[in-house]
């Protein structure tokens, strides 16, 4: 059989062309691939491609409630009118209940509308040449801001107002302000109408954020503060007393909007602000019960368990995030008990499992697992649901209770698919979720843990890994509080959230929202079983509890808690569910998946014709590489090796062909 070298090379090249190489989508005719893509400088010189100039955050923390105002300043420094769109994150607990738009001296208060109506109002204003703004929820922790008809020289300020409950863990309070949305991997099942925000441009790795970021936090805790610090940013502290202070970003952090802002503090005497808070409204009365968990009285021996480590090795994990994950896994796997069983499943676009079934945690298997993980460098897509299915399908070791540990940055589009999958398989495994990176998808991490009746962990860097690993080991040794029941005496409580309280693993308070009818009387009692089987009982009188106008945020915080159950994580989107979400949004003036804020300046300002549409590019989160951005289907490391082999084969064949021709032989292989 004779094959011409040229023919063989042509076949190899055709095969190479057929391989889905990584690519960056580019805008063409107003459309782009439904995947993140890199911003490319160029185009019209008189068009301002970065209309968002600054984000200024003012936070007031009183007790356990944070009142937050975020001002985004949009300025058109180009020569043409523009319409801008900006994607930004929020806390999963944020109850957004207000928005204003300021143009010059004119302040316009936004109205809450059903999302379809709000969009229609915005589009009509945009078409008619009026300046307008539209705030929409894409995910519970991802929002989009659209502004229309920003004229050359215009400055428009958009202020968002939200409230958030701060729940301490291990007696540490944390205020977290996410600053950037990481690029989301799409498996191709994107709803183009709902998820167009995923196709957002990103600046390349190492390119500085274009918008300024400033932050001021004022605290008034009522109890002296200690250990106040930021693990994410350089800050300056200005104390006005033992329990009051102001924290501002250092001047060097002006362009630090590429990672979560994290501020942590403790209260003197290791106290937490537990107790019963009340708000007596015009139509309904609201309560918040926060009960400190008991101390871990008994250092229990950790029972024999089976651990399944499900580890993300996709492109967005390349470098710093995967190095951090490896550090934590070395600690977790290296310190398993000798009686434990374990297995490791690595996933990106596909998945690889270390062994067909779990193996004993002996020295030989631990070394094998660490080598299995260390060989990965990160690359490819993030098919989490497929990995979860494969993990859940692995045989369970008889007599062992399985715990699944999912380690990921969470940069995926199909969060709810993963939540449902875990919730439907609770009889097979409980789940703890570990978010790795400077700006993880907290919605996914918290949702996975909630679905799996476990706890979420966030690891922002390698130095955090040992403490997080130890915290996990301490948690799984025994729950802090079990058999939790709430009794209401002399009070008619209703609309209580959550409706049932699972066993408490973490050293964080039990938090219960609700409403009550009638006079302010009676009591609420929480009962449970603490460490060593000791009964725990905490009773709170309504008469003796704090009530006043300063507790008005309880109204919107209750509604946000209800939305977390019916909208954020597990519920479907049938007509009845959608109607309840919309009703809550309209009644409580809340941003939801079914309601949006819209503001219109009722003056036709753009008479020159259509404005140019601009999508503000986002910085890549700190520590995330360019490999996180590209086409929907990014090749796995094995595919790269194959491509290298193809190129090498072509090169060798051409060399041989040239050599044979130079000696007078024909260019054929026999």
**Gyration radius of the chain over CA positions:** 28
pLDDT at 504: 84
pLDDT over 80 (residue 640): no
How confident is residue 571, by pLDDT bands cut at 50, 70 and 90? low
pLDDT of residue 663: 38
pLDDT value, residue 434: 94
Cα dihedral: 183, 184, 187, 193 (round 10): -110
Mean pLDDT of the chain: 85
Does residue 632 surpass a pLDDT of 50? no
- For residues 382 and 385, what is the distance between their CA atoms, to the nearest angstrom? 9
Q: What is the pLDDT of residues 196-240, one digit of tens each?
A: 878 889 999 888 888 999 999 999 998 999 899 999 999 999 999
469-504 confidence digits (pLDDT tens): 999 988 887 778 888 899 999 999 999 998 878 788
**Beta carbons within 10 angstroms of residue 265's beta carbon:** 22
Can you tell me the mean pLDDT for 374-388? Answer: 85
pLDDT of 11 reads 46
16-30, 594-608, 623-637, range with the lowest pLDDT:
16-30
Burial class (CB in 10 A: 0-12, 13-18, 19+), 498: middle
pLDDT at 4 over 60: no
Mean pLDDT, rounded, for 350-362: 93
634 against 499, higher pLDDT: 499
Among 66-80, 528-542, 651-665, whose mean pLDDT is lowest? 651-665
> For residue 5, which of 643, 649, 662 has the smallest C-alpha distance?
649
| Confidence category of residue 556, pLDDT binned at 50, 70, 90 | very high
Q: What is the pLDDT of residue 150?
A: 96
**Residue 18: band (very low, low, confident or very high) from pLDDT cuts 50, 70, 90:** very low
Instruction: Encode pLDDT of 300-317 as tens digits.
Output: 556 678 999 999 999 889
Task: Determine the Cα–Cα distance for residues 651 and 386; give it in Å rounded to an integer.
Answer: 38
Helix ranges restricted to H, 129-261: none
Q: Are 268 and 226 in contact (CB under 8 A)?
A: yes
More confident residue, 618 or 296: 618
Per-residue model confidence (pLDDT) at position 298: 55
| Residue of 264 and 189 predicted with greater confidence | 264
Nearest to 439 by CA among 623, 255, 302: 623
pLDDT above 90 (res 108) = yes
pTM (2 d.p.): 0.82
Span 382-412, pLDDT tens digits: 889 999 999 999 998 888 888 999 999 988 8
What 3-state DSSP class applies to 140?
coil
Nearest C-alpha neighbor of 250 from the set 239, 237, 231, 265: 237
Q: How much of the chain exceeds pLDDT 70, in percent? A: 85
User: Which pLDDT score, from 0 to 100, does residue 558 have?
Assistant: 97
What confidence tier does 37 reach under pLDDT thresholds 50, 70, 90? confident
Determine the Cα–Cα distance for residues 473 and 454; give it in Å rounded to an integer. Answer: 13
pLDDT mean over 34-40? 79
pLDDT tens for each residue of 47-61: 999 999 999 999 999
Pick the more confident residue, 540 or 41.
540
- Confidence label for 38 from pLDDT (cuts 50, 70 and 90): confident
Structural domains of the chain, with CATH? 3-21+635-669 (no CATH), 45-179+212-256+260-269+589-615 (2.60.40), 274-297+480-583 (2.60.40), 305-477 (3.40.50.410)
Longest alpha-carbon distance in the chain: 106
pLDDT tens for each residue of 142-154: 999 999 999 999 9
Which pLDDT band holds residue 334 (cuts at 50, 70, 90)? Answer: very high
Tell me what pLDDT residue 630 has.
62
| 106 has a pLDDT exceeding 90 | yes
- The answer, yes or no, to whether residue 101 has pLDDT greater than 90, is yes
349-358, 524-533, 576-585, 629-638: least confidently modelled range: 629-638
Separation between Cα atoms, residue 14 and residue 206, nearest integer Å: 35
pLDDT at position 184 is: 82
pLDDT at 644 over 60: no
Banded pLDDT at 79 (limits 50, 70, 90): very high
- In this prediction, residue 356 carries a pLDDT of 95
- Burial class from Cβ neighbours inside 10 Å (0-12, 13-18, 19+) for residue 463 reads exposed
- Is pLDDT of 5 > 70? no
**Residue 631: pLDDT band with limits 50, 70, 90:** very low
């Amino acid at each position: 059989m004779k094959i011409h070298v040229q023919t063989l090379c042509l076949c190899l090249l055709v095969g190479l062309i057929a391989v889905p190489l990584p690519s960056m989508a580019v805008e063409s005719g107003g459309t782009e691939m439904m995947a993140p893509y890199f911003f490319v400088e160029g185009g019209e010189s008189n068009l301002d491609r970065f209309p968002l100039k600054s984000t200024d955050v003012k936070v007031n923390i009183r007790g356990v409630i944070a009142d937050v105002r975020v001002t985004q300043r949009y300025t058109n420094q180009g020569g043409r009118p523009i319409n801008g769109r900006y994607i930004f994150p929020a806390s999963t607990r944020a109850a957004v209940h207000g928005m204003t738009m300021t143009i010059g001296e004119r302040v316009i208060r936004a109205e809450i509308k059903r999302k379809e109506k709000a969009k229609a109002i915005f589009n009509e204003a945009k078409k008619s040449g009026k300046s307008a703004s539209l705030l929409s929820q894409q995910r519970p922790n991802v929002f989009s801001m659209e502004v229309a008809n920003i004229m050359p020289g215009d400055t428009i300020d958009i202020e968002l107002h939200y409230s958030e409950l701060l729940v301490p863990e291990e007696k540490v309070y944390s205020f977290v302000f996410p600053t950037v949305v990481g690029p989301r991997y799409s498996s191709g099942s994107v709803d183009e109408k709902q998820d167009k925000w995923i196709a957002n441009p990103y600046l390349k790795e190492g390119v500085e954020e274009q918008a300024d970021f400033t932050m001021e936090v004022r605290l008034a805790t009522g109890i002296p503060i200690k250990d106040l610090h930021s693990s994410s940013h350089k800050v300056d502290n200005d104390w006005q007393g033992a329990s009051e202070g102001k924290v501002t970003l250092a001047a060097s952090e002006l362009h630090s909007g590429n990672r979560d802002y994290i501020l942590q503090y403790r209260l003197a005497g290791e106290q937490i602000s537990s107790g019963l808070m009340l708000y007596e409204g015009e139509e309904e009365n609201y309560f918040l019960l926060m009960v400190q968990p008991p101390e871990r009285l008994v250092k229990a021996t950790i029972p024999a368990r089976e651990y399944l480590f499900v580890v993300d090795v996709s492109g967005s994990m390349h470098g710093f995030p995967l190095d951090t994950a490896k550090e934590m896994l070395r600690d977790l796997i290296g310190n398993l008990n000798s009686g434990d069983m374990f297995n490791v499943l690595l996933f990106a676009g596909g998945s690889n499992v270390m062994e067909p079934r779990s193996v004993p945690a002996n020295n030989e298997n631990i070394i094998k697992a660490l080598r299995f993980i260390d060989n990965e460098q990160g690359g490819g897509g993030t098919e989490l649901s497929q990995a979860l299915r494969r993990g859940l399908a692995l045989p369970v070791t008889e007599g062992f209770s399985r715990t699944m540990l999912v380690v990921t940055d969470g940069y995926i589009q199909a969060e709810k698919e993963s939540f449902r999958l875990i919730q439907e398989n609770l009889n097979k495994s409980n789940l703890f979720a570990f978010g790795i990176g400077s700006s993880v998808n907290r919605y996914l991490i918290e949702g996975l843990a909630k679905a799996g009746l476990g706890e979420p962990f966030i690891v922002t860097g390698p130095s955090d890994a040992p403490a997080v690993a130890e915290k996990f080991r301490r948690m799984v040794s025994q729950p802090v509080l079990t058999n939790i029941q709430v009794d209401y005496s002399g009070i008619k409580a209703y609309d209580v959230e959550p409706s049932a309280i699972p066993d408490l693993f973490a050293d964080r308070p039990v938090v219960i929202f609700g409403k009550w009818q009638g006079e302010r009387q009676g009591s609420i009692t929480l009962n449970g079983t603490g460490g060593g089987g000791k009964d725990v009982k905490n009773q709170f009188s309504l008469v003796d509890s704090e009530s006043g106008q300063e507790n008005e945020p309880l109204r919107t915080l209750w509604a946000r808690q209800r939305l977390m159950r019916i909208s954020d994580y597990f519920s479907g989107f049938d007509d009845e569910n959608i109607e309840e979400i919309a009703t809550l949004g309209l009644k409580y003036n809340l941003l939801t998946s079914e309601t949006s804020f819209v503001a219109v300046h009722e003056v036709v300002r753009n008479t020159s014709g259509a404005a140019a549409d601009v999508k503000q590019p986002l910085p890549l989160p700190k520590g995330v590489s360019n490999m996180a951005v590209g086409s929907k289907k990014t090749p796995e490391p094995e595919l790269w090796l194959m491509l290298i082999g193809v190129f090498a084969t072509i090169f060798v064949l051409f060399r041989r062909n040239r050599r044979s021709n130079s000696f007078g032989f024909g260019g054929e292989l026999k």
